[in-house]
A and B are shown apart, each in its own frame.
Chain A
């Protein structure tokens, strides 16, 4: 009988000095969330959970890994064969990177479909793009650590991208390598940065969530919540939905970890790095393929050689996401009410998949042509179609409130007397 009182008093004592309990209560329990979120809204919290899983497995791997060209490959093999559960921890980390990108790409395309990048969520979106860039850098450097053939040649090709920069390109590449080729100094610094970057990501995720909680989640209808009748508390309604999604997702990931752990990998990475022999066909990890295709697609343009033009196009393809909120001129957020944009969305998704397929194949024959068309369309979508469609398209009528489509005829109209004053509140 007395114990709840004690707990209550201790938590009050803490909360009076460090209002952490009020904070949690506010952000997780009361936090009003649109009541119509569908399963595509699960992927944000999933991404956060994977980030934690990556950090935990990574720190454990680092206890056994040796960042030296002579020992790195063997230390990873030792993790696989001798360290207790080393195989499991490494396979979780390895497949975790792929899962992270699957989840984040879905999360991004969700945002594209429902117009989540539009006002007032531009900074929220831009912080997301920063997270994507940091994830790419982290995953790229992580892939170098096992020091297999793909590690080495992937690192060589990607760091050589910087040599395309006019005038100072070669100096920058030497600076990145700490030598005249990818070698031990490169491996050492990549390990150091691979350890650091996930924590930088955590920092940006915190900002991302602060920005999210400032205006709340967008929703499938894409209109603002108009009052308490449109929202429900995050806990327990969305905690339980997120947990259910997590369960499904963990089953999916465990399928890879236990039954096809090398599904996403390249067999060549189980050959120790050899600086004198490039594998006949080098490809990056699947999550970089569309960008790799863009890199290779661009021919000489006027006075810019193909090498520089390709690098600019590749970085541009991500940078363009930063200005997306201003390229899309439509006031309507959700594609549900934008008949033309909805089709463009699916075409764009298909275009990205085509780019990925081209990136996985050697740059010969018709792959070159398809790669160029798909690259051109990628930029056309953002730079021409989105600004124009926003102006030309006639959106379908948007419901007056979130409740209306949910309650078929609408909570608002069903109880006009009760809803009217709330709308004003």
Chain B
């Protein structure tokens, strides 16, 4: 090859290109950063606004709820199920072999006081509200809740037992205050 000739001819040219390459890269990087910085607020504005985040605790009086009864309250725009469980329901929830569950969790890990089960009433499949709160509604074959949308069945601890939902019903953060008041959130 005509190497010597080409190299001598090419080397000053190469140096010029490297400098230009650097400028191109630096300008390109700044441009990309600036574009990212400009787009970020446009993406971020879609996340929950400050007032949406703030409105997020709810209090309920538990005293009127009889054993075996359930109530539904709204928290962050979602239903929360509060069930005053019977002895039989508690035993049923505790008797399960945790290893056999799709989303293994003991009943004790899901309640603070065994008679009160508090879960977010949103099916972990695609977000429908499962049935089983009102007397006469189907509770599915595990005695908890049954989601009519695609057939997920939950047990008396709100754990997923059958159907397409992957996880147990979520347990929200909550606290028992004095005089049988419950605060969620």
A interface with B by C-beta (< 8 Å): 153, 156-157, 159-161, 163, 174-183, 185, 189, 275-278, 280-282, 296, 305-307, 310, 362-364
Contact = CB atoms under 8 A, between A and B. Distances in A.
Interface string B74-100: 101111000000000000000000000
A175 B149 contact: no
B149 A282 contact: yes
- List 3 A-B pairs, minimum CB-CB distance, nearest first: A160-B127, A181-B77, A160-B126
B18 interface: no
Contact of B164 (A161, A185, A277, A310): A310
B128 interface: yes
Nearest to A156: B127
Question: Which among B121, B122, B125 has the highest number of chain A CB atoms within 10 Å?
Answer: B125
A276 B74 contact: yes
A200 to B, nearest CB: 17
A277 B77 contact: no
B150 to A, nearest CB: 6
Contacts of B106: none
A307 B49 CA distance: 29
B119 to A, nearest CB: 14
Interface of B: 43, 46-49, 52, 56, 72, 74, 76-79, 121-122, 125-131, 148-151, 164-166
A278 B128 contact: yes
Given A178-B52, A180-B77, A276-B72, A307 B47 contact: no
B129 A278 contact: yes
Nearest to A277: B129
B76 to A, nearest CB: 4
B133 to A, nearest CB: 9
Given A178-B49, A179-B48, A275-B78, 5 more contacts: A153-B128, A157-B149, A163-B126, A183-B77, A278-B131
B46 A275 contact: no
A31 B48 CA distance: 53
Contacts of A189: 46
B77 A156 contact: no
A424 B121 CA distance: 73
Contacts of A157: 126-128, 149
B164 A156 contact: no
B82 to A, nearest CB: 13
Contacts of A181: 76-78, 122, 127
B168 to A, nearest CB: 14
7 contacts: A160-B126, A175-B46, A181-B127, A183-B52, A276-B79, A278-B129, A307-B165
